[in-house]
Amino acid sequence: MLLLALILAASAPALAATPPAGLSLDQPLRQGQLVIGHSAPGARISVDQRNLRVDDQGRFVFGLGRDQSRVSLCVRLADEAKARCAGLPVAPREYAIERVDGLPQGTVTPNPAEQARIEREAALIAKARERNDPRSDFAGGFVRPAKGRISGVFGSQRVLNGEPKSPHMGLDIAAPVGTAITAPAPGVVTLVHPDMLLTGQSVIVDHGHGVSSVYIHMSRTDVVEGQELKVGDPIGAIGMTGRASGPHLHWGLNWFEVKLDPALMAP
């Protein structure tokens, strides 16, 4: 194990203060950030050895996870024979700890049948997030999809009945049942589900290059799979379907499987 660690450390680019020449980044590198960058059309760009799509304007995008501490960026322009790489630090963030006691244990620990259903539904969501469409709908930024009080933030660690659970990976907007949910950016609807165990009525919208957004606990859905959306088009209405303690929208943002903080894109 020590030898493997030494080999990996030796092969990784040293941490640098700036990205490699030939590309620029629009957002700071911080945990949970969706980062939009620019290079020359035809450039080949990778993040942590993952090849990125570059559109005809030279735009590309990638995401940084909740606990990510560094990222390796490489760029090779069309007229170059060799890539330039740099390892960059990712700024850490502090996350709140939320403790909730007195919950019915059945809502904290699912039984085997429920767990099997959760896994089937999670596979549907994961499949929708595999898309890598050439559209650059993400490039215009995002607005908040609903009006209301912020009741939950990205990254907070939840401890339910004394048992640590997965961090909260989205932005919760609390508002009365029936409050409108609208598209925060252009996109294509890739998943509409009427009744998931944990998330209730759920919708996923793809924004291109692996960027997608999710809307859950809805009382009503107003879209169908394959529908193209513009900013402000109706998606549905706030509810408390699935396992929700009150009416709210959970709005999530992803780059493929990497969960991101929507609040950083729509402050």
List, for residues 76-101, the tens digit of each pLDDT value.
999 999 999 999 999 999 998 888 77
Contact 145, 237 (CB under 8 A): no
Q: Give ranges for CATH 2.60.40 in the chain.
A: 2-89
Task: Flag whether pLDDT at 9 surpasses 80.
Answer: no
Fold assignment, 97-265: Glucose Permease (Domain IIA) (2.70.70)
Q: Is 66 helix (H, G, I), strand (E, B) or coil?
A: coil
Rounded to the nearest 5°, which phi and psi values hold at 123? -65, -35
How does pLDDT run across 197-215, given as a tens digit for each residue?
Answer: 999 999 999 999 999 999 9
Examine the pLDDT at 71 and tell me if it is beyond 60: yes
Residues 256 and 28: beta-carbon distance below 8 Å: no
Rounded CA gap, 20 and 37, in Å? 12
> Strand pairing of 157-160 and 97-100?
parallel
* Res. 267 pLDDT band, cuts 50 70 90: confident
Tell me which amino acid residue 139 is. A
Asked if residue 243 lies in contact with residue 181, where contact means CB atoms within 8 angstroms, the answer is no
Q: What is the pLDDT of residues 128-141, one digit of tens each?
A: 999 999 999 999 99
CB of 210 within 8 A of CB of 256? yes
User: Can you list the alpha helix ranges (DSSP code H) found in 98-190?
Assistant: 105-108, 112-128
* pLDDT score recorded for residue 13: 54
At residue 103 the predicted structure's pLDDT band, cuts being 50, 70 and 90, is low
Using an 8 Å Cβ cutoff, are 223 and 235 in contact?
A: yes
| Residue 11: pLDDT over 60 | no
Average confidence score pLDDT of the chain:
91
Q: Is the dihedral of CA 12, 13, 19, 23 positive or negative?
A: negative
Give DSSP secondary structure letters for 11-50: HSPPB-SSPPTTEEESS--BTT-EEEEEE-TT-EEEETTE
pLDDT of amino acid 101: 75
Of the pLDDT bands very low, low, confident and very high (cuts 50, 70, 90), residue 243 is confident
Task: Considering the chain, tell me which residue range(s) the CATH 2.70.70.10 domain(s) occupy.
Answer: 97-265
Contact between 35 and 26 (Cβ < 8 Å): yes
- Token pair listed for 78: 């069309």
Q: What is the pLDDT of residue 4?
A: 38
3-state SS, residue 229:
strand
Cβ–Cβ < 8 Å for 264, 34? yes
Q: What are the structure tokens assigned to 217, written together?
A: 């606990």
Enter the pTM of the model.
0.90
The CATH architecture of the domain made up of 2-89 is Sandwich (2.60)
